[in-house]
Amino acid sequence: MNATSQLKFRDPVLGRALGDKLNSVVAELGRSPVSVMHVCGSHEQAIARFGLRSAFPRELDVVMGPGCPVCITDVPEVDEGVALALQGVRVCTYGDMLRVPGTVKSLADVRGDGARIEVVYGIDQAIALARETTEEVVFFATGFETTAVATAAALLAGVPKNFSVLSAHKYIPPVMEIVAEMPGTRIEGFLAAGHAAVITGSGVFEDFVKAHRIPVVVAGFEPLDILAALVRLVELVRDRTPEVVNMFPRCVSREGNRVAQEQLWKVFTPVGGRWRGIAHVPNGNLRLKEEWSAFDARRRFTIDVSRLWDYAPPKLLGQCICGEIMSGSRGPKDCPLFGKECVPENPVGACMVSTEGTCRIWHQYGGHLDLRGVS
C-alpha cells in the first residue's frame, strides 16, 4: 500500500539495525559528545524528515554545516539581484531565493513593488523565457557544484543574446577547510554531500583529509544511506584513520563526472568571497570567466546597489545567529528569534527562508527534532 516502505533504501528494519550498530560504535568510543558535521541541506532535510535524530545515540552530535546554498548567498549578492530587478530587467531565480532578505529588500518585496521576478525550476526555463522576448532576462544563479554545472552546460549549449547570468554559485570543498580551521572546532568528521560528489568525485576530498587528518564519508540521501555513512564515519573516528570513504558508490566515483567538471571549469573560475554569516571563503565563489563576459550580468549591466542602502538595516537582524548556526557552533534553539519573530512566512535570517535552511527545516518539522523522551 505505502510505496515508501517498499523502497530499498527506506527499509525500516534495516534502518533499525543500522541504528543499533551506530549506537554500539559510538559506545565503543566511550566519550561524549562525538561531533560530526554534514554540509548539505538535503542531509538535514532527510534527517529531519525521517526522524533520524531520535534514533541517534545521545553521545553523537550530528551538526549541520553551511550546506544550504540559499542561506549562504551573501546580502550584497541578493542586493545585486534586487537592484537589477528594480532597473527593469526580468530576473529569474529559484523560488527559495525570493524571500531571502537583502540589505533592505528581498526579491519578493520588489516583486510586490512591481519589479518582474520569475520563479523557475531551472536555468532551462529562464532561457526559454528569454527566447520568447527581446527584453533582457537575467538568471540569478545560486547553488553549489550541482547547479553550477547545469548553468555551465546551458551556457556552453548556447543561449540567446538577451540572456545573462548573475552568478552566486558556491563551491563546497573550500568551506570545509574554513570549518576545520575554526578556532575551537570540535568537528571530528564530515559527511560529504553525495550529489555534489557525483560531479567532483570523492577524490576531491583527499587533500583535505591529508591536511587536516579528519575523515570524510560521502553519503547519499536516503535514510539508510545516512545511517550507514554515519556508522562508517564514527568507525573512522574511533580507529583514528582519517580517510575518504565513498558510501554512495551507486552514484559517486573517485574521479567524478569528468565531462561535467570540464564544463564547470570552462565557464567558471573560483574566486574568494563572503558566505553569508560564515566568513570570507577563499575560492568559495564561482564567477563567470572573462571569456563569458557577454553573458555575465555583472559586466553587462551597471548594477547600482547603492540606492538600496538608504535605509537602516532592520533591528532584529542584529539578534540573528544564522552565521553561528551554519558554522555549527550553535543550533536554532539557541536563537532568541527562532519560532517567534523569525518564522518562515516572515524570516529574519536566511536559514529560515530556504527549504534547505536549518531553521526552516527545524520549524517545518515542529522545531523539536529529538523525540527520544516521548513515549
Partner 1 sequence: MNPIPSLHKRDLQIAMRHGGGGRAMRMLIEEVFMRGASDLPVDGVGLAAMDDGAALRIGDQYLIVTTDSHVIHPLFFPGGDIGRLSIAGTVNDLAMMGATKLLGLTCAVILEEGLSREVLERVQASMQATCREVGVPIVTGDTKVMGKGELDALVINTTGVALTSRVVRDNGLRVGDRVIVTGTVGDHGLAVMATRNKLQLAGELKSDVAPLFDLVQRVLAVGGESIVAMKDPTRGGVASALHEMAGKAGVGMLVSEADVPVSEAARAASELLGIDPLHVANEGKALIGVRPEAAERVLAAIREHPLGRDAAIIGTAIAEPKGKLVLDTGFGRRLLAEPEGEPLPRIC
Nine cell digits for residue 254: 573517485
Do 237 and 186 contact (CB within 8 A), yes or no? no
In the complex, what is the shortest distance from the CB of residue 17 to partner 1, in angstroms, rounded to a whole number?
11
Do 75 and 103 contact (CB within 8 A), yes or no? yes
Among 49, 186, 238, 298, binds partner 1 (CB under 8 A): 49
Cα separations in angstroms, 122 against 75, 84, 92, 118, 143: 22, 19, 9, 11, 11
Do 191 and 164 contact (CB within 8 A), yes or no? no
Among 15, 65, 273, 357, binds partner 1 (CB under 8 A): 15
Residues 88-147 close enough to bind partner 1 by CB under 8 A: 121
Interface with partner 1 includes 243 (CB under 8 A)? no
Among 35, 87, 162, 355, binds partner 1 (CB under 8 A): 355
In the complex, what is the shortest distance from the CB of residue 115 to partner 1, in angstroms, rounded to a whole number?
17
* Residue 2 vs 134, nearer CB to partner 1: 2
Interface with partner 1 includes 245 (CB under 8 A)? no
SS3 334: helix
Among 48, 245, 247, 322, binds partner 1 (CB under 8 A): 48
Interface with partner 1 includes 58 (CB under 8 A)? no
* Residue 93 vs 200, nearer CB to partner 1: 93
Interface with partner 1 includes 69 (CB under 8 A)? no
- Going by DSSP bridges, is the β-strand pair 117-119/90-93 parallel, antiparallel, or unpaired? parallel
Site stretch for partner 1 (CB under 8 A), options 7-15, 20-28, 176-184, 243-251: 7-15
Among 22, 26, 55, 165, binds partner 1 (CB under 8 A): 55
313: left (phi over 0), alpha (psi -120 to 50) or beta: beta
Q: What distance lies between CA 83 and its chain's CA centroid?
A: 24
Look at the block and give the residue holding cell 527559495. 96
- Going by DSSP bridges, is the β-strand pair 34-38/189-193 parallel, antiparallel, or unpaired? parallel
How far apart are alpha carbons 134 and 132 in whole angstroms?
Answer: 7
* Residue 132 vs 345, nearer CB to partner 1: 345
354-365 b/e with 16+ CB inside 10 Å = b?
bebbbbbbbbeb
SS3 344: coil
Cα separations in angstroms, 364 against 45, 46, 110, 262, 367: 10, 12, 26, 38, 7
How many Cβ atoms sit within 10 Å of the Cβ of residue 274?
Answer: 16
In the complex, what is the shortest distance from the CB of residue 361 to partner 1, in angstroms, rounded to a whole number?
11
Among 249, 272, 313, 366, binds partner 1 (CB under 8 A): 366
How far apart are alpha carbons 345 and 287 in whole angstroms?
Answer: 31
Interface with partner 1 includes 5 (CB under 8 A)? yes
Site stretch for partner 1 (CB under 8 A), options 13-21, 133-141, 231-239, 253-261: 13-21
Interface with partner 1 includes 293 (CB under 8 A)? no
Interface with partner 1 includes 363 (CB under 8 A)? yes
How far apart are alpha carbons 76 and 86 in whole angstroms?
Answer: 15
In the complex, what is the shortest distance from the CB of residue 256 to partner 1, in angstroms, rounded to a whole number?
25
In the complex, what is the shortest distance from the CB of residue 47 to partner 1, in angstroms, rounded to a whole number?
9
Number of residues that bind partner 1 (CB under 8 A): 39
Site of interaction with partner 1 (CB under 8 A): 1-5, 10, 12, 15-16, 19, 48-55, 121, 223, 227, 338-341, 343-346, 355, 363-369, 371, 374
